[in-house]
Structure 1
Amino acid sequence: MSRGGLSPCLSIFRRPVGARGGAPPVLPPLSFSTGEPADGSRTDAGALAREITGILAGAGDWRLVIASSDIPARITPEALSSVLRRRNPAVDAGRLLDFFSWAHSQMRRPPNLDSFAALAVHLCNSGLFGPANGLLERMIGAHPSPSAALDSLKDSVVLNRGSNPRVFDVLIETYKRNGLLKEASEVVLLMSGSSSFKPSIKCCNGLLKELLRTSLMNLFWEIHDFMLKSQLGQDVFTFSILITAFFKIGDANSAKRVPKEMLEKGCKPNSVIYNTLIGGLCKSGNSIEGRSLLHEMSSLGLKPDIFVYTSLIDGFMREGNMEAAFEIRDDMAASGVQPNMITYNNLVRRLSKVGKMDKARELLQEMIGAGWSPDVITLNFIIEGHFHEGKTQCALQVFDEIKIGNLNPNVYTYSLMISGLSRAGELKKAVGLLEEMVGRGLEPNTIVYSPLILGHCREGRIEEACMVFNSMNERNVLPDSHCYNSLINGLCKVGKMEEAKHYFAQMKERVISPNVFTYASLIHGHCNGGEMKEADLCLKEMIVRGLKPNDVIFTTLIDGHQKAGDIPMDLSAFRRILGGGILPDLRTYSVFIHSLSKAGKMSEALQVFEELQGKGLNPDVYTYSSIIFGFCRVGYMEKALSFYDEMCKNEVEPSVVTYNTLIDGFGKVGDFESVRKFFKCIQENGLEPTGVTYTTMISGFCKFGNLLEAFGLFDEMVSRGIPPDSFVYNALLHGCCRAGRMEKAMGLFNEMLAKKFATELTFNTLIDGFCKQEKLQEARELLQLMSERKIVPNNVTYTTLIDGHCRAGKLEEALRLFSEMEERNITPNALTYTSLIYGYGRLRNLGMVSFLFKEMISKGVVPDEVTYEVMIHAYSEETNAAESIRSHDDSLVQNVGEELYEVRDSVNEMKKNVIDPDESESPMLFHGLCTKGFMNEAKQLLKTMVDKGWVPKNNAPYSSADGCFQAIPAIEASYAS
C-alpha cells in the first residue's frame, strides 16, 4: 500500500506527541495477563506468523481475510513478534503498523518488547518518524527500562542490516518529550564506547538544551563529555548551548573562550554564537565586554542583528548606563537595523524604572513615528514610571489614554494603578478601579488586593482593610502571605491584638506559613501593649517553626521588657528561650548580640557573648563584627580593638564589614592613622573595599576638614568602578561648605543635579554654607531653585535661612521667611524661634523678643537651653531695673505694677518655702523674671529646670564672652544622623 493510502489506523501515529494541532495518539489500553502461553505455542507462533505474513503480503483487504479465519483467536505476542521480525519486504511498514494495532486490540497480553523495537525500526527505515515516535511512547509505558529498550532496538537494527540509525534518536526524543530526561540521558550514556550505535549531534543538542533548561547540570556535562569522547563532534548549536551553560554556572570566562575554541576546531563562529555570547555578557552585568565583541564580529564578516543590539541596550539600561544604551541605539540606526517593539519596550521599561519619564515619553513619540503602536505592555511601563516619580495624575492620564484608545487595560494594568494609588493615599480611587476591573470582566488577584489592604492599614483605616480582605473570600481569591501580613501588621499597630490573632490563626488553618515579618508584627504589637508574656511566646513559636529572629525582633523585645520594667537586665526574653528548652544556635546568639549593640547595651552584649562561649559555641565573623560594631558605636575604640585582636588570634578572618565598622569608629573619634591602617588591611587580606568603605572614610575626612584625602579617595573610588552615591556627594559637599570652599561645593552641586542626586539635604547644606559666608542672595536663590526642581523645603531649610538673616541683622527678611514657612505648613522648632529671638535681642527690640517667646510657648514649641540663654543675654542690659526697684522707696515700687509684685512674691515664696515650680508654669515664670529684670532669679530658675530635666539639651554653643550667639544650624545635626 502506498504511503498516501495508509489506513486510518496508521494516521493516529503520524503526529508526534506534544505536536501542535492535535491530541497525542490513542491506542487501546494495555491489558496484562499472568497466564503462560499454551504448550507448543512457539511452533504455533511460527506457523501462524507465516500465515499472517502471506495474508499481509497479498493484495486485497487483509482485515476481511483475517476476520473470516481463526487467526483472531490464535494471535499471541509471540506470533506478533515473529511476524514483525521476519518482515517480508513486500509488506508496507504502514500495513504492519495497522496490523500491530489490530493485534494489540485482540491479545490479552501486551506486545513483547522486541515487537515494539522491530516495528519502530521498520517505520524509521520507511521514513515514518512520527508514527515511530508514537509507537515508542507506547513502548516505554509498557516496558519502562531504558537499557532494555535500547538493547531491543540494537538487536532489531542488527537483524535488519542497513537500518536507519535515526531510530535511536527517536527513542531519545520520545523520552525527552515525555519529560523523562534522566532516562533519555541514560540511553545516550549506554551508547558509550560503541562505534556502531550513536545518536546524532542534533539529537544530543536537543537533549543538552532541555537539560540546561531544567537545570540538570550534572547530566548536561555528562552528555557533553559523551559527545566529545564519542567523536560525534560539535556544531554551532552545540557551542551556542555550551556558552549558555557557562553563563548559567557563572563562568563568563569560559563562555568568552568558546569562539576561539571553535576556530581551533575548524568551526567558524556565526551570528548565533555572538548573539548568545553578547546576550549572556549583558545579562551578567558585563555589557561593556559585550559591546567590545562587536568589533570581533566585524572582523569575521558578521553583522550585528536586532537581537544583539537589543541585548546590549537592555544590558546597559539594566546597569544604569543610559548614555551607552542610547549610543548603541544610535549605532543600530546607523547600521540600518531598525528598532523593533521589543527594543522600544526595553528602553521605555528601563527609563521608567529609573525615573527618566521625560525621556521615556520622548521615546514613546519616536516609537509611534517609526510606525510602532504602543501596546498595553509599553503603557504599563509608563504608568509604573510615573508612580515611581510620585506623579499620580500623569499615571491616571496614561490610564485614561489606554481606555480611550483601542487598547484594553489588563489585570497587570489595574494592579499597577491600584498599587500606585494606594501608595499615594488615593484609596477611594483605588477601590473605584477595583470595582471597574470587575465590571470589565477581569478577575482581580492577590497582587491587586495586597496593596489595597496595605494602603488602608498605612492610613489607619483598619476596618476598611478588613472589609477588602474579607471581600477576597467572596470572589474566591485566596489571600497570600502578603495580604495576611499587611492586615496583621496594621491591626497590631493600632493595638487590635485579638483581631490580629484571629487572622493569624486563620492564616495557619489555610496552611499559609507565617514568616519572620508575621511574627515581628505580632511581637511588636504585644510589646507596645505591654503583653510581654505573649510576645515571648511568639518568639518561642517562631523558633520552633525554624524561623530565625532578626535584630529588629530582638530590639523590639529588649525595648518592650525595658518599658515594662520586668527585668533587671535586657536578657529576659533570651533566657526564657533557654528555659523553654529551645537552644539558640550561633546565628541567634549573634543576632541578639547585634541587637543589644545597636541599643548601646554593651554590658548585656558582653554577657551574651560570654554565655555563647560557655555553651561551647565559637563566635564567627558576624558575632565578632556585631560586638565590635557596638563598641565603635559608643566610642569605646580600645574595647573594639581588643575584640578585633581576639578574632584574629582565634583565626576568624575579619570581613570587609568588620573593617568598615572599625574605619567608621576610628573616623568618628578622629583617629585617622587607625583609619588608614585598617583600610590598608582590607587589601592586604585579599578583600576589596566596597562603596561603604569609601563612603565611610570620605565622610570621616570631610567632617574633620581633610578635604585633600577625601577627594583623593573619591577619585580612587571612581577608578575602581565603584559608583559614588548621593551620600558620598553630600559628604564632600558638606566638607567643602564647612571649609568655606563654596566654588568647589557648587561644582559638586552641579554634578549632583545632573545625576539626580540632589535632595533637600543637598540644598540645605549649600544654603547653610552661603549663610555662614553671609552670601544671603545666593542662599535665597537656592530656595527658589528647590521649588523649580520640585524639591520641597523643610524645617531645616527655613531655619537655616532665618538664622543666617538674623545673624546678618536682616530681621525684616527673616520675618518674611518665617511667615512663608508657616504658610507652607512647615512647623517652626525651638531653633527657628531662638534665631529670631537672638536677632531681635541684638537690636534691643525686647517687645518682639517677649512676643516670640510667648508665641513659641503657646504653640507648644519647647524652648531648649540655648533659647533660655539667649533670653538671659537679651535681657541682661535690663538687670539694673530690679536693683533700682529694690533701692527706691515704697511709693515708687507701687508704680511698677501688680505683675512685678506677683513675680517678686512668687520668687520670694519659692526661696522661703523651697517650693519647686511646676514644669508647665516654669517657662512663663522665667519669662516674667526676665522681662522685669530679675536676672539672677531667672538664672536660678533655669538651673532648677535643667537639673530636673525639663529643658531639652542643645549642642548649639553660646558664647557670652564676646556677646555673640553662634547657633549651629540644624543641618549639622541632620547630617550627623
Structure 2
Amino acid sequence: MKQYTTSQILFALIKIRQFALARELFDEMLGTGVRVDEYVYTAGIRAYCETNNLDGAKDLLARMESKGINGSAVPYNVLMYGFCKNNRVHEAVEVKNGMVERGVTTDEVTYRTLVYGFCRTDELEMALETTDDMLRLGFVPSEASCSIILDGLRKRGHVEEAFRLAWHLGELGMVPNLFASNALMDKLCKDGRFSEAERLFTGMENRGLQPNEVTYAILIHSLCKRGMMNDALHMFDRMREKGIRVTAYPYNSLINGYCQCDDFDQAWRFLREMVEKGLSPNAASYSPLIAGLCRKGDTGSAVELHNEMDRNGVSGNIYTLTALINCFCKDRNMDEAARLFDKMIDSSIVPNEVTFNVMIEGYCRAGNIRKAFQLYDQMVDRGLTPDNYTYRSMISVLCLTLGALKAKEFVDDLENNCAVLNGFSLTALLHGLCKEGRLTETYHVWNVMGAQGVKLDLISFTAIMNAALKQNDNEKVSMLIREMEEKGLKPDIVFHTCMIDAHSKEANIAQALNCWDNMIADGCPPNVITYTVLINNLCRSGHLSSAEILCKEMLGGRFLPNSFTYNCFLDYLATEGELEKAKVLHAAMLEGCLANTVTFNTLIKGFCKVGQIQEAIDLMQKITESGFFPDCISYSTIINELCKMGDTNKAFGLWNEMLYKGLKPDIVAYNILIRWCSIHGEFDKGLGIYSDMFKNGVQPNWDTYRALFIGASLMIRCKINQSLNSCFI
C-alpha cells in the first residue's frame, strides 16, 4: 500500500512541475529499498533531467537496465529529451543507439525528439536526414519541428530541400505552420520559383491552413513584380472577399506595379484608396510614384508629392530621395539636387553608391568637374566602391572639359589601382579620343577593348571610322570596313551620316555623294539629319546651289526641313555678310515657327562680324519678345565684340545682366572676358573673373591659362617700363 501511495505522490509532484521535491522523493524510495518499476524510473529520470542533473539521469537509466527491467521507449525518450533540451543532442543519439542495441523498439517520439535536438543546435542537415528516416518508417514528424527545419533551410538558401519536404508533408496531410509556410513562399517568389510558390499556396488552402494577410501580400507582391497586374488585382479582390485584413503592404505592391507599367492613374487611385480606408501611406507608398513621375520627366508633380509626404510626417527613404535627386540632375538643376543631397545626410539617411553616381553624373552633365571629383573623393572616403557608372561619367566629363588625354590619365590610374573597366567606360574614352583625332591612343584603347573581350559595336566603329577619316587615314578606314564586314555589322543610317559628314567637311563632295549612294544601296533612306548634315557642309564649302537643290528635294519628299536645316542657310548668309537676305530668311522662319534661340544667335553673330553691335544688342532684346530667351552664347558673342572694340565697361554691363538673369557662363564665356581683360591691361579684373569661375565649379582649360599668362606678361612688361622711365627721369 505504501509503495502505491509513494508512487502516486511522485507522479503528482512531476505533474505540478515540482521536480526538486520529486527527485528527493525518488532518491528516498531508492534508499529505502522500495521496489521501483519502469514508470517510477521514468518519473525519476525526468526529475533528474528537469533539475539539470543529466549525468545522474543517465546513471538511473543504466541502473534500470542493470536491474533487468525490460522497459519501453518511454524512459529512453525522456532522457533523450533532457539531452536535446540542453543542446547535448549527440548524447541523445548515443541513447537512441543504445536502445536499438538492447532491442528496445524506437517510436515516433524517439525521432521527433532527435529532430527537435538537431533543430536546437542548428544542425539542419541531420534534422532533415532524421525526418527522412521517420517518413520512411511511417512516422509523422511534428509540425513544430518541420516548420523549424523549413525556416532554417530557407534561411540557408536550400529552397529545393525545403520545398521537397513541404510537399512530402502535404502528401501526408500535414502542413507546416503559417509562419514557416509564408517564409518559404516568400523565398520561392524571391528566387523566381513562382509555380512552386503557387502550388504551396494551393496546398495550404486544400489542407486547412488558412492564408493570412502576409500570405496574400507575398503573392500580390510577386505578381506585381512580374507585371501581372490583372492577376494581382484578382488576388487583392479575393483577399478582401474573404474578409482578410488589408494592410499597407499589398497597396504598396499594387502602386509600385502600376508605376512600373506607367499606369500612374491606377497608382494614384490606390494611394488615395489607402487613405480613404484609414491606412497611413509610408515611404514605400510614395517612392514608386515619385520615381515614376521623375522617369516621366514630371519634376513638378514629383516635388509636389514629396512635399505631401513631408506634410503627412512621412520621412523619405534612400530610394525616394535618390529618385528626386536624379530628377533634378536630369533637369540640370544641381543647386536643388545638392540641397536635397545635404538634407538626406542631415536626416541621417546614408547615401549609397546609386545616390553618389546620380550626383556625380549630374555634375558631369553640368560640366562642373571640380564638384564631380569632390563627390568622387567623398564617396571613396565613406568606404563606398565606385563602379563603371561612376567611371563612365568621370571619363566623359574629363574628355569634354580637360581633354581626352586627361581622361586617359584617369583611366590609367584606375587600372593601376586594379579597377576593372567595362565596355561602357572604355567606349566613353574611345569616343573622347576619336573626337580629338588622337588616333594612336584611340587604336591602343581599341586593342585593349578587343583583348578584354569587349564586343565592339557599330557605335564604336562609327566613332573610330570618323576619326580615321579626319586624319585621312584611308588604310585604316579600309581595314575598319573589312573588320565590320567580318563581324557581320551592317552600317546603319548613323554610320552613313557620319561618313557623309566627314567627307563633306573636308570639301570632298564627290566622296560624300558616293557615300550617299552607298547608303541608298544599303537600304538606308536619308533622314532629316542626313539631309541637314550635307546641306550644312555644302553651304560652308560655298556650294549654295547644290544645298538649295537638296532642300527642295526634302520639301518634295517625306522629310521636311527643320530649324537646323534652314539655319545652315542662315549661317551661310550671316557669315558672308549678306545680312539683308539673312533677315528676310529669319523673318520667314519666325513666321513658320522654325526660329529659336540658335537662329537668333546666328544672326547676332552675323551683325557682330560686320561691326553692327547695336543691331546685335537690339536683336538680343527681340529674342524675349519672340517667346524665346537669350542664352550664354547670345551674351558671349556680343561681349566678345564689345571687348574687341575696347568697350569693356559695356561688356561687363552685359555680363552682369547675364548673371542677374540666372544664366551660368560656360568655359568659353569666362575665357573671352579673361582674355580681353588681359589684353586691355585690366589683369586684376581678369583674375576676379577667374576666381568666380573657379568658385562656380567651371574647370579652367588651356585657353584660360594662356589668357592669364598674356595678362601677367603684359603687367610685368608694363611695370618694367615704368621702372625704366623712373630711372631716366
TM-score of the aligned structures, taking structure 1 as reference length:
0.42
SS of corresponding position for 2:477 = helix
Question: Which runs of structure 2 are paired with 1:819-968 in the superposition (5 Å)?
Answer: none
Task: Show the counterpart of 1:741.
Answer: 681
Provide the rounded CA distance (Å) in 2 between the counterparts of 1:720 and 1:402.
46
| Equivalent pair of 1:453/1:468 in contact (CA under 8 Å) | yes
Provide the rounded CA distance (Å) in 1 between the counterparts of 2:586 and 2:348.
67
Provide the rounded CA distance (Å) in 1 between the counterparts of 2:524 and 2:380.
48
Task: Show the counterpart of 2:524.
Answer: 479
Q: In the TM superposition, what is the alpha-carbon distance from 1:372 to its structure 2 partner?
A: 1.4
Q: In the TM superposition, what is the alpha-carbon distance from 1:322 to its structure 2 partner?
A: 0.6
Q: In the TM superposition, what is the alpha-carbon distance from 1:329 to its structure 2 partner?
A: 1.7
Task: Show the counterpart of 2:103.
Answer: none
Q: Name the CA shift for 1:692/1:703 in 2 (closer, same or farther; >3 Å).
A: same
Provide the rounded CA distance (Å) in 1 between the counterparts of 2:310 and 2:618.
52
SS of corresponding position for 1:372 = coil
Residues 444-473 of structure 1 show CA distances to partners (whole Å, capped at 9, x for unaligned) of: 442556534554565637579758975997
Which one of the candidate residues 604, 607, 612 is aligned to 1:668? Answer: 612
Q: Name the CA shift for 1:203/1:433 in 2 (closer, same or farther; >3 Å).
A: farther
Which one of the candidate residues 650, 654, 663 is aligned to 1:713? Answer: 654
- Are 2:287 and 1:240 equivalent residues in the alignment? yes
Which one of the candidate residues 740, 750, 756 is aligned to 2:701? Answer: 756
Q: In the TM superposition, what is the alpha-carbon distance from 1:285 to its structure 2 partner?
A: 2.1
Residues 258-306 of structure 1 show CA distances to partners (whole Å, capped at 9, x for unaligned) of: 6775566565444334433433333332334333345433443333322
Provide the rounded CA distance (Å) in 2 between the counterparts of 1:301 and 1:724.
35
Q: Name the CA shift for 1:371/1:729 in 2 (closer, same or farther; >3 Å).
A: closer
Task: Show the counterpart of 2:338.
Answer: 291
Provide the rounded CA distance (Å) in 2 between the counterparts of 1:198 and 1:539.
65
- Are 2:581 and 1:599 equivalent residues in the alignment? yes
Which one of the candidate residues 474, 490, 498 is aligned to 1:427? Answer: 474
Matched to 2:294, the amino acid is F
Q: In the TM superposition, what is the alpha-carbon distance from 1:493 to its structure 2 partner?
A: 6.5
Matched to 2:701, the amino acid is K
Q: Name the CA shift for 1:432/1:200 in 2 (closer, same or farther; >3 Å).
A: farther
Matched to 1:318, the amino acid is R
Which one of the candidate residues 622, 632, 637 is aligned to 1:691? Answer: 632
> What's the RMSD between the two structures over aligned residues?
6.2
Task: Show the counterpart of 1:541.
Answer: 556
Q: Name the CA shift for 1:678/1:239 in 2 (closer, same or farther; >3 Å).
A: same
Provide the rounded CA distance (Å) in 1 between the counterparts of 2:409 and 2:388.
15
Task: Show the counterpart of 1:796.
Answer: none
Provide the rounded CA distance (Å) in 1 between the counterparts of 2:690 and 2:434.
26
Matched to 1:479, the amino acid is C
Matched to 1:668, the amino acid is Q
Provide the rounded CA distance (Å) in 2 between the counterparts of 1:420 and 1:666.
35
Q: Name the CA shift for 1:93/1:394 in 2 (closer, same or farther; >3 Å).
A: same
| Equivalent pair of 2:224/2:256 in contact (CA under 8 Å) | no
| Equivalent pair of 2:293/2:301 in contact (CA under 8 Å) | yes
| Equivalent pair of 2:364/2:394 in contact (CA under 8 Å) | yes
Identity %: 17
| Equivalent pair of 2:395/2:407 in contact (CA under 8 Å) | yes
- Are 2:423 and 1:410 equivalent residues in the alignment? no
Task: Show the counterpart of 2:371.
Answer: 324
Residues 293-328 of structure 1 show CA distances to partners (whole Å, capped at 9, x for unaligned) of: 454334433333222222222211111111111111
| Equivalent pair of 1:466/1:487 in contact (CA under 8 Å) | no
Provide the rounded CA distance (Å) in 1 between the counterparts of 2:239 and 2:276.
8
Provide the rounded CA distance (Å) in 2 between the counterparts of 1:265 and 1:384.
48
Task: Show the counterpart of 1:365.
Answer: 412
Question: Which runs of structure 2 are paired with 1:6-155 in the superposition (5 Å)?
Answer: none
Q: In the TM superposition, what is the alpha-carbon distance from 1:348 to its structure 2 partner?
A: 1.9
- Are 2:489 and 1:443 equivalent residues in the alignment? yes
Residues 358-391 of structure 1 show CA distances to partners (whole Å, capped at 9, x for unaligned) of: 4322322332243213333332222111122222
Q: Name the CA shift for 1:193/1:737 in 2 (closer, same or farther; >3 Å).
A: same
Matched to 1:547, the amino acid is L
Provide the rounded CA distance (Å) in 2 between the counterparts of 1:126 and 1:378.
41
| Equivalent pair of 2:643/2:676 in contact (CA under 8 Å) | yes
Matched to 1:421, the amino acid is A
Residues 545-573 of structure 1 show CA distances to partners (whole Å, capped at 9, x for unaligned) of: 5836658569979x99xxxxxxxxxxxxx
Provide the rounded CA distance (Å) in 2 between the counterparts of 1:661 and 1:488.
21
Residues 400-421 of structure 1 show CA distances to partners (whole Å, capped at 9, x for unaligned) of: 3444x44445225434322322
- Are 2:248 and 1:304 equivalent residues in the alignment? no
| Equivalent pair of 1:427/1:456 in contact (CA under 8 Å) | no
Q: Name the CA shift for 1:192/1:678 in 2 (closer, same or farther; >3 Å).
A: farther
Q: Name the CA shift for 1:482/1:95 in 2 (closer, same or farther; >3 Å).
A: farther
Matched to 2:560, the amino acid is L
Q: Name the CA shift for 1:668/1:268 in 2 (closer, same or farther; >3 Å).
A: same
Provide the rounded CA distance (Å) in 2 between the counterparts of 1:178 and 1:393.
48
Residues 683-740 of structure 1 show CA distances to partners (whole Å, capped at 9, x for unaligned) of: 9x999764355436635754665422422432453465423346645764686589x5
Residues 483-525 of structure 1 show CA distances to partners (whole Å, capped at 9, x for unaligned) of: 99479959x979xxxxxxxxxxxxxxxxxxxxxxxxxx99953
Residues 618-650 of structure 1 show CA distances to partners (whole Å, capped at 9, x for unaligned) of: x97959999x989x97xxxxxxxxxxxxxxxxx
Task: Show the counterpart of 1:391.
Answer: 438
Matched to 2:648, the amino acid is L
Which one of the candidate residues 265, 269, 276 is aligned to 1:222? Answer: 269
Task: Structure 2 unaligned segments of length 5 or more: list them.
Answer: 1-137, 139-167, 174-180, 200-204, 722-729
* Larger RCO of the pair (alpha carbons < 8 Å, separation 6+): 2
Residues 20-57 of structure 1 show CA distances to partners (whole Å, capped at 9, x for unaligned) of: xxxxxxxxxxxxxxxxxxxxxxxxxxxxxxxxxxxxxx
SS of corresponding position for 2:383 = coil
Residues 726-781 of structure 1 show CA distances to partners (whole Å, capped at 9, x for unaligned) of: 6645764686589x536468759988997337399x98xx89x98xxx99x99xxx
Q: Name the CA shift for 1:662/1:254 in 2 (closer, same or farther; >3 Å).
A: farther
Q: Name the CA shift for 1:710/1:239 in 2 (closer, same or farther; >3 Å).
A: same
Q: Which moved more, 1:457-466 or 1:390-399?
A: 457-466
Instruction: Give the number of the structure whose residues are more often helix, by fraction.
Output: 2
SS of corresponding position for 2:703 = coil
| Equivalent pair of 1:421/1:427 in contact (CA under 8 Å) | yes
| Equivalent pair of 1:698/1:710 in contact (CA under 8 Å) | yes
Provide the rounded CA distance (Å) in 1 between the counterparts of 2:240 and 2:607.
62
Provide the rounded CA distance (Å) in 2 between the counterparts of 1:677 and 1:349.
33
Q: Name the CA shift for 1:435/1:717 in 2 (closer, same or farther; >3 Å).
A: same
Provide the rounded CA distance (Å) in 1 between the counterparts of 2:619 and 2:533.
48
Q: In the TM superposition, what is the alpha-carbon distance from 1:164 to its structure 2 partner?
A: 4.4
Task: Show the counterpart of 1:723.
Answer: 664
Task: Show the counterpart of 1:87.
Answer: none
SS of corresponding position for 2:419 = coil
Q: Name the CA shift for 1:207/1:675 in 2 (closer, same or farther; >3 Å).
A: same
Q: Name the CA shift for 1:135/1:686 in 2 (closer, same or farther; >3 Å).
A: same
Residues 49-81 of structure 1 show CA distances to partners (whole Å, capped at 9, x for unaligned) of: xxxxxxxxxx9xxxxxxxxxxxxxxxxxxxxxx
SS of corresponding position for 1:758 = helix
Q: In the TM superposition, what is the alpha-carbon distance from 1:256 to its structure 2 partner?
A: 5.3
Matched to 1:320, the amino acid is G
Task: Show the counterpart of 1:78.
Answer: none
Provide the rounded CA distance (Å) in 1 between the counterparts of 2:650 and 2:214.
71
Provide the rounded CA distance (Å) in 2 between the counterparts of 1:686 and 1:486.
28
TM-score of the aligned structures, taking structure 2 as reference length:
0.53
